[in-house]
Amino acid sequence: MNRYPALLPGGKIGVFGSGQLGRMLALAAHPLGIRVHTFSPESDTPTGQVCEKEICASYDDRDAVRAFVRGVDAVTFEFENVPAHVAEIAAEVGKPVRPGGHVLHVAQNRLREKSFFADAGLPVTPFVPVQSLADLQAALAQLGTPAVLKTAAFGYDGKGQVKIDNPAQAGDAWQAMGGQPAILEAFVLFEQEVSVVAARGADGTFAAFPLVENRHVNHILDVTIAPAPVSAEVAAEAQQLTRRLMDALDVVGVLAVELFLLPEKNPHTSAQSVSSAFYSGRLLINEIAPRPHNSGHWTIEGAVTSQFEQQARAVCGLPLGSSAQTRPAVMVNLLGDLWAQGEPHWAALLAFPNAKLHLYGKSAARPGRKMGHVTVTAKTVDEAFATAMAARKSLVG
């Protein structure tokens, strides 16, 4: 039951974290009359450049955290790896924390995350916890190879993981973990990586955007295609799993669910799914992000309500908007690599009438760093894809 009144125009959302997700949240909140404040250890940040107030302090400065929370009406997070005490302080002050600290606790650790999926009866990649080299060797004997060893905490964009093709590689793989707790996952042969971004309101209402296909390069999202080229049955299954997961976690806010679409025949690896021996669908949940997600950026131009407006509505306790897609859309990321030969040719990209450019206001371009994205909407996915690729290519001449 929602025990907080809805935030009306003039209300203030406090965002912990200050990257591009907070930036786009602030831009979406402004038309609703909602103000955004941001708190992070950095200044002149992507979020800080466009929000009403930017506080630069350490997350470990509990007095600064408490003062920040007292100055806003509701609290949310721009990324999930904010220290747990931040959510605890916000709750102690008496402000709504959306999503709640319990959601961050699950999402911050791959082992807790996978265990939650399994305990909830959701289809998940087979996994085994690993605390030592002996554990890893035993896990490899159980799951077989190939397999993927991942740090339990603080991994993203392919960081903190090692593929193991042969049990003889166990020693090197464990050394790469640096003695940190880890999780071994069976290597899944999948047809597509897909994701659902959805919102859940303070009253439990649910609104999911269409299932999308994600294509990665060097473990970093490169292209999102909306909608994904899948059957209606697969799309419905993905939304159903997402709703079950959000209800089980009692999420208030936006959450992304990344999934593997398995082949129609021989869908599983040799290991059995630990969460549901009788699961007969084609999707396995890989991981979640309890916030807007890179694969949902297309919704700014391609949906009735963007993922960021949905986040603002949910955090404020307001009714959710329509998540219906308006046109086929393709989003491409702009990484720092595009700056290798100097400033990209922005005028060339903007000569494409349907190419919508979003730059994040980051001061330094580095290889692999997400500096912005481009979304193209068109009559068909194929047309949007071709235009998006051509537009991005034009940036380098």
Closest CA to 170 of 130, 125, 140, 131: 140
CA atoms of 311 and 7, how far apart (whole Å): 13
Range with the lowest mean pLDDT among 67-76, 89-98, 275-284, 311-320? 275-284
Residue 355 has pLDDT above 80, yes or no: yes
| Residue pLDDT, tens place only, 62-113 | 999 999 999 999 999 999 989 999 999 999 999 999 999 999 999 999 999 9
CATH 3.30.1490.20 fits 126-186, yes or no: yes
Is the pTM higher than 0.85? The answer reads yes
* CATH class of residue range 12-97: alpha beta
- CB within 8 Å of 53: residues ≥ 6 apart: 37, 38, 71
Please report the pLDDT score of residue 272 as a whole number: 41
Say how far apart CA 280 and CA 220 lie, in whole Å.
30
Range of weakest confidence among 89-103, 142-156, 160-174: 142-156
Q: How many CB atoms lie within 10 A of CB 132?
A: 12
Q: Report the pLDDT averaged over residues 304-326.
A: 98
Intrachain domains 12-97 and 192-394 with the same fold: no
- Range in 145-159, 252-266, 291-305 with the lowest mean pLDDT: 145-159
- Model confidence band, residue 2 (pLDDT cutoffs 50, 70, 90): low
Gap between the Cα atoms of 191 and 178, Å rounded: 32
| Domain coordinates in residue numbering, the chain | 12-97, 126-186, 192-394
Q: What angle do CA 140, 194, 46 make, to 5 degrees?
A: 105
CATH, domain range 192-394: 3.30.470.20
pLDDT tier at 269, thresholds 50, 70, 90: very low
Residue 108 dihedral angles phi and psi, to the nearest 5°: -75, -10
Mean pLDDT of 338-343: 95
**What does the alpha-carbon distance between residue 315 and residue 322 come to, in Å, rounded to a whole number?**
16
